[in-house]
Amino acid sequence: MAKHPTFVHLTDIHVGNPEILDTNLYSDTSTTLTAILADIKSIVPKPDFIVASGDLVNRGEISDYEELQRIFHEADLGIPVLFGLGNHDVRENFYSSILGRDTGLQKPYDHDQVINGIHVIVLDSSIPNRIGGGFEDGQAEWLKAKLGENDLPKLLVMHHGPALDEDDVEGQWETFACADTIVLRDLLKDRNVIGIVSGHIHFDRVSNWYGIPLVVGIGQHAATDVLHLPENLRMVSGSGFALCKLRPSGLTISFVPQPAERRELHVIPLAAIAELERQRLAAAAE
Ligand SMILES: [Fe+2]
């Protein structure tokens, strides 16, 4: 049986140059990323790819991106990594340090790739000097063209998830802009979109958005205490990533906490459970 496509969703990595004091960095994100990449490296079989949905670094400086690159390079994962950009990213510094690009440095970083049968579309939802996201000129047209290119299952990666309440203009700093969300909704309709993976709000959240799974990851920096919303943005420790598998029935996403502070209680080889069940079924049939 062919292996189902699998991938990892990272978001809100927020690493920074450890040589520079950053009073807006609340956890050791370099250590967290290193540990997460080690976790990913231990997965058998290897995932087909990794997507990272923005806020790759905390301050947007070139030396922050160099730290990101160093950690990924040392992890030596051997699988494609598709980066998206968020409001903490600075396009020109990302382009020059990560991609070695020296033209079009202000343009959104929209890109796509087909990997093991999944058409991955990474939309740059960031808008320079804004917290919330949205389309810039030409991006909706680009997305429409990409969506129409083939009939493959499509994964959309974007830092800012669509606005769940399309009239919540006050809350647009947390999301893709309301008006643009409506445009996006219409563009994605009947386009075999298996899911949207996002970040920005720093807590694991799963929504059914017009029939499309919309999955936000907690990220790797600091976690939003959802018990304090909507009055306060209380940040607590907490980070993780998501393992994703595409079956013919649809997308499955499993959340993995990191640091893995849970104490091991018991380990049973899964093959032993399957064998026990096989024996019970055989006995019942006799
Ligand atoms: Fe973030």
CA of 192 to the centre of ligand 1 (A): 28
Q: Where are the domains of the chain?
A: 6-285
CA of 276 to the centre of ligand 1 (A): 45
CA of 13 to the centre of ligand 1 (A): 7
pLDDT at 197: 98
Q: Is the dihedral of CA 221, 216, 45, 110 positive or negative?
A: negative
Query: Which of 3.40.50.720, 3.40.47.10, 3.60.21.10, 2.30.130.10 is the CATH number of 6-285?
Result: 3.60.21.10
Reported as half-sphere exposure (CB side, CA atoms, 13 A), residue 81 has a value of 20
Q: Is the pLDDT of residue 262 over 80?
A: no
- The amino acid present at 233, given as its one-letter code, is L
Q: Is the dihedral of CA 179, 145, 3, 159 positive or negative?
A: negative
**264-274 average pLDDT score:** 85
CA of 202 to the centre of ligand 1 (A): 6
Mean of pLDDT over the chain: 95
Q: Element (H or E) spanning 207, and its range?
A: strand 205-209
Range of weakest confidence among 82-86, 230-234, 251-255: 230-234
pLDDT at 269: 85
pLDDT at 117: 96
Q: Characterize the bridge pairing of strands 81-84 and 49-53.
A: parallel
Where residue 270 falls among pLDDT bands split at 50, 70, 90?
Answer: confident
Where residue 259 falls among pLDDT bands split at 50, 70, 90?
Answer: confident
Where residue 2 falls among pLDDT bands split at 50, 70, 90?
Answer: low
CA of 271 to the centre of ligand 1 (A): 40
- Residue 101 CB: number of other CB atoms within 10 A? 15
CA of 222 to the centre of ligand 1 (A): 8
Query: How confident is the model over 134-187, as pLDDT tens digits?
Result: 999 999 999 999 999 999 999 999 999 999 999 999 999 999 999 999 999 999
CA of 98 to the centre of ligand 1 (A): 19
pLDDT at 123: 98
